[in-house]
Structure 1
Amino acid sequence: MTAAYLEEAVSMMDAAFFRHETVSRCLGLPNDTAALAELKQLTTAAAKDGVSVIAIDKTTNKVIGAAFNKLQVKDDTAFANFANSWKQKRAKAIVKFMAEVDSLYNFFDKCGVDCLLEFMFVGTLPAYRKKGVAKKLCEASIEIGKDLARGVNVKRSVDGRKLRLEPVPKIITAIFSCEATKVIGKKLGFKVVVEEKFEEYEFEGRNFASVVGDEISTFTLEYRDLK
């Protein structure tokens, strides 16, 4: 991710992720333009960590996919506080959902780390799916994490700030909410630590299972070492 492509990549995620991803649909995000506008703040903030990745169609120079990755540090509440400043309930709800799922397995304590790299949002434009783009985005993100873990500062600033090497992640984590991403996780050596049924979650009285139907029954919380 570079400054030149940041705005396009943030806008692209509206069509590539928030209008199609399972939890986003369960929360009704595709039809909530105000919430989608607030979520652009979230993706932009994540990109400022300098560890996000984009995929570009070389024939058009168009951003067709992205992995917005976030460096999470133990006991840092800045990101949660950021979301708490929003007004839109659906925007707040997706951050709350991610926080609740993350709380099911304390990576910092269980893995003995003080920093991790999180796949926050990974999306590919519909016309470019089933071509291996999402897997490549995840592979590139893992390589960034490995470089940082080795002490090589490959962070790329998107706002002109100089980014220090620290904090250095030791693991990479993800919530996989569709079968395609679960397959990618398995291929890339991720370990499932939590698997939850969608029927155990609801928003405004509507059970998630009533939205996903037979499409998928569970989502997973997974991780792998950056070695």
Structure 2
Amino acid sequence: MNNREYLKTVHLSLLSLRKRTHNLREMEGKIWETSDNGDIEIISLTEKYLNESLELLQNVFFTEEFTATACGVPNDPEAKKEWGEICLAVANEGVSVVAIDRKKDKVAAVAFNKLYQKINSKNSISLYDKCLKSFKNQSAKDLIMCCKQMDNTTDLFDKCGCNCYLELMFLATSPNYKGQRLATKLTNATIELTRQLHQGNNVKKSLNGTMLHNEPRPGAVVAVFTSNISQKLAEKLGFETAACIFYKDMMRNGKSYYELIDKKQEKILIVFKKL
């Protein structure tokens, strides 16, 4: 074998190895995006990364997010624990995505997403209503009431012109990975996942990899962005504003949310992006 044939054989072997590695990772979780240097991949959430993803939400989202802060959740372990039940229920819907540092095999950022379907039955009970009945912790209940208040501000089904939408519900980045645009990549991956479902391509899997039913198909992506940074992200990615709620108009225990949080934050934006 001459040098040219040898190099060709090595090249083909490397290509085959990369393909097998890629296929194994696809089985682990569908790859939606990668970082510029290839070190971080955005994949569908799988059972392997569930606990680490839930831990990241506990340590970052429910510690830093402004409505959670106003409701006293960051300093209340029981409140975080009860909201962890909601996070787990959302994860089981099979539409969440995570950013994985492949060199360290570590969760760098997460986007827990949930599908909402328009139901006309008066007897239907929402996830928030179920949790409001079962939760014992007052801070956890206050945050539920806050979410219900935001939900009642506008009719998102009417705004989006569809009977089903996907909400980007919990978005968080590990402090060790700040500044790498992972929130943008997770949001883009969420939009693409929603588009695939909308087009009838079933990319919805349970945490253990089992395919889930593709119906109903979402017609839009929705998010509730509570910080200046996330609101700039929404504008950059072409989201429209469905409603604006000012922190000074939301109250808890006789104080406005504006008094209870960083006063540089003035409002909450409920945004949507039609497909």
Normalising TM by the smaller chain, what interval? over 0.9
C-alpha deviation, 1:159, in angstroms: 4.8
Q: Look up the match of 1:81.
A: 129
8 A contact 2:97–2:110 mirrored in 1: yes
Q: For 1:93, which of 142, 148, 155 is the aligned residue?
A: 142
What is the letter of the counterpart of residue 130 of structure 2? F
CA deviations on 1:71-129 (whole Å, 9 max, x unpaired) are 01113534123312111122222222122112111012343311110011101112222
Match status 1:105 vs 2:149: no
d(CA) in 2 for partners of 1:95, 1:116: 20
Q: CA deviation at 1:202?
A: 1.6
Pair 1:71 & 2:119 matched: no
Structure 1 residue 59 corresponds to structure 2 residue 103: yes
Q: Given that residues 16 and 65 in structure 1 are in contact (C-alpha distance below 8 angstroms), is that contact kept between their aligned partners in structure 2?
A: no
1:61, distance to aligned residue in structure 2 (A): 1.0
Output the TM-score relative to the length of structure 1.
0.94
Cα deviation per residue 1:43-88 (whole Å; 9 max; x = unaligned)? 1100111100111122211112100100011135341233121111
Distance (whole Å) between structure 1 residues aligned to residue 110 and residue 146 of structure 2: 21
Residue 220 (str. 1) matches residue 269 (str. 2): yes
Deviation at 1:181, TM superposition (A): 0.5
Native 8 Å contact 2:204 2:211 kept in 1: no
User: Contact between 1:177 and 1:220, CA under 8 Å: does it hold in 2?
Assistant: yes
Quote the RMSD (CA, aligned, Å).
1.5
AA aligned to 1:90 is S
Gaps spanning 5+ residues in structure 1: where?
none
Letter in 2 for 1:68: F
- Matched to 2:80, the amino acid is L
C-alpha displacement of 1:223: 0.3
The structure with higher relative contact order (CA 8 Å, sep 6+) is 1
CA distance 1:185–1:16, change in 2 (3 Å) = same
2:37 is the counterpart of 1:37: no
1:204 equivalenced with 2:248 (yes/no) = no
| Count of aligned residue pairs for this structure pair | 226
Q: Secondary structure at the match of 2:74?
A: helix
Q: Letter of the aligned partner of 2:54 in structure 1?
A: V
Q: In the aligned structure 2, how far is the partner of 1:66 from the partner of 1:82? A: 25
Cα distance between partner residues in 2 of 1:2 and 1:213: 35
Residues 1-227 of structure 1: matches in 2 within 5 Å?
Answer: 1-75=45-119, 77-84=125-132, 85-159=134-208, 162-226=211-275
Whole-Å separation in 2 of the counterparts to 1:20 and 1:100? 20
Deviation at 1:213, TM superposition (A): 4.1
| Alignment-mate amino acid for residue 221 of structure 2 | I
Identical-residue share of aligned pairs (%):
32
- 8 Å Cα contact 2:160/2:272 also seen in 1: no
Deviation at 1:136, TM superposition (A): 0.6
Larger Rg: 2
Distance 1:77 1:109 in 2: 20
Q: What letter matches 1:37 in structure 2?
A: K
Residue ranges of structure 2 left out of the alignment (5+ in a row): 1-44
In the TM superposition, residue 162 of structure 1 has moved relative to its aligned partner by 4.1
Q: Deviations along 1:168-222, whole A, 9 cap, x unmatched? A: 1001111110011111111111001211110111222232111234321111111
